A and B are shown apart, each in its own frame.
Chain A
């Protein structure tokens, strides 16, 4: 059973460009979570989604960031007009149900030049 997949593993963008980060949860998992780890910091929650629904987006910046988890396909974290402060590791986790342990993907390392 494949684990949580994230791609790309590394992404370089120039200021003002868009970044799209993809997350395919483990098979049978319908709950997806996105976390961000800034340099020298711990992980910070961004958003929790279930298929086609955003359940909790309390950790998402109000502007430029959006997330979706469509009925078919991976979850997408989209960052518009990236700035240098968006440079971080973005981790996706999934769980089979509401109360279960979250299992993490390898992360996408975003570098904004």
Chain B
């Protein structure tokens, strides 16, 4: 039972354009969401997070949008750069439960 779903296994965009990565969740108890980036043979690197009391959080080229009614969040990267090419994971947790529940990831390729 996949509580966090990333339905696009891969995404390819042109350098300089916007990358939009999507994530859906089923557990209405989730109240904190995170995006991590992962290169091959490395651990996940934290990118950006959002609390359920917000609908948008921005950090430089990265913006996360949260639509609670749709149980959907998205990560926008603009402008996309070749160095952004990696696997992006969406993760969530609920209240006092510290364990992160992960999606399967979306592999982003940014082409020069």
Contacts and interface: CB of A to CB of B under 8 A. Distances in A.
Interface of A: 4, 6, 31, 33, 35, 41-45, 48, 55-56, 58-59, 91, 93, 98, 101-107, 109
A102 B103 CA distance: 16
B99 A59 contact: yes
B102 interface: yes
B98 A107 contact: no
Contact of B45 (A43, A56, A104, A107): A104
B100 A102 contact: yes
Given A44-B102, A56-B97, A104-B43, 18 more contacts: A6-B43, A33-B98, A35-B100, A42-B4, A42-B105, A43-B89, A45-B100, A48-B98, A55-B98, A91-B43, A93-B43, A98-B98, A101-B46, A106-B41, A106-B42, A107-B42, A107-B43, A109-B41
Interface of B: 4, 34, 36, 41-46, 49, 89, 91, 96-105
Contacts of B103: 42
B59 to A, nearest CB: 12
A6 B102 CA distance: 21
Contact of A101 (B34, B97, B105): B34
B98 A56 contact: yes
Nearest to A101: B46
A93 B100 CA distance: 11
Contact of A91 (B44, B97, B98, B99): B44
A4 B89 contact: no
Given A41-B104, A42-B104, A43-B89, A103 B46 contact: yes
